[in-house]
Structures are given as structure tokens and as C-alpha cells.
């Protein structure tokens, strides 16, 4: 089966600019996750969707980050305005459903560099 698709793979922007990332999960997967992975750290959950509803966004910096999954399929994550500390790899993952014990399949990630 096709994996989780993300674009772009790399992005370099100046601070205070805006940026958007796109994710297409595995077909039929109801749950979609956005993680931020800063170099040398573990993935940190930013937001989790079940279909088109938000399950958890407690770690999302809502003053600058936003995400949507309008039709319950693909999703976009936006940062506006970006800060230097937003430099990280943004990983999208999906799983068939949301019960504990379901594998999360990760995309290749988008490496963001803010200069």
C-alpha cells in the first residue's frame, strides 16, 4: 500500500515568514497526527485528528500554528509567523483508527529551516 505522503521535503524561510506543509495519509486511515521533531529529540505531538475533528491540540502553539483536515483525508499545517525555534522536521503520521494499540505510520517529513 502507498505510504504517508508529505510535501515539500525541505523548506528554508526567513523568520516572520509563513509556511505550509501538506500531508496525505494512507487511504482509509481515520487518524492523522502532526509531530514536530527538533534535532536530537523525540517526536512531539502537535495535533491529532480523528476524521476531520481535533482530538488533541494541547501542544500546538496556537498563536502561530494552525492545522486543518477539512474533508477528513489530507491535512495542512501552517506556521505564521515563523520563529527560529520552529526549525525542525515536521512529521505526519496516520493510523487506521484511534484505539490504543494501532500502529502509527510516518511520512518522510518536511525539514524546515528558519533563518
Partner 1 sequence: GENVEQHPSTLSVQEGDSAVIKCTYSDSASNYFPWYKQELGKRPQLIIDIRSNVGEKKDQRIAVTLNKTAKHFSLHITETQPEDSAVYFCAASIRVTSGTYKYIFGTGTRLKVLA
Residue ranges binding partner 1 (CB under 8 A): 33, 35, 40-45, 48, 50, 55-56, 91, 98-101, 103-109
For partner 1, the closer CB: 14 or 55: 55
For cell 508529505, what's the residue? Answer: 6
Alpha carbons 18 and 79: distance in angstroms, whole number: 6
Residue 18 CB, nearest approach to partner 1 (Å): 25
Strands (E), 1-109: 5-7, 10-13, 19-24, 31-37, 44-50, 53-56, 65-68, 75-79, 88-95, 105-106
For partner 1, the closer CB: 81 or 105: 105
Residue 24 CB, nearest approach to partner 1 (Å): 14
**C-beta separation of 114 from 84 below 8 A:** yes
Residue 43 CB, nearest approach to partner 1 (Å): 5
For partner 1, the closer CB: 73 or 106: 106
Amino acid at each position: 500500500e502507498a505510504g504517508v505522503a508529505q510535501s515539500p521535503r525541505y523548506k528554508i524561510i526567513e523568520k516572520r515568514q509563513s509556511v505550509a506543509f501538506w500531508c496525505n495519509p494512507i487511504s482509509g486511515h481515520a487518524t492523522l497526527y502532526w509531530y514536530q521533531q527538533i534535532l536530537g529529540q523525540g517526536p512531539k505531538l502537535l495535533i491529532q485528528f480523528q476524521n476531520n475533528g481535533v482530538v488533541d491540540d494541547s501542544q500546538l502553539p496556537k498563536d502561530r500554528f494552525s492545522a486543518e483536515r477539512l474533508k477528513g483525508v489530507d491535512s495542512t499545517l501552517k506556521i505564521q509567523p515563523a520563529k527560529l525555534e520552529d526549525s525542525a522536521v515536521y512529521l505526519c503520521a496516520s493510523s487506521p483508527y484511534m484505539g490504543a494499540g494501532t500502529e502509527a505510520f510516518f511520512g518522510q517529513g518536511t525539514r524546515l529551516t528558519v533563518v
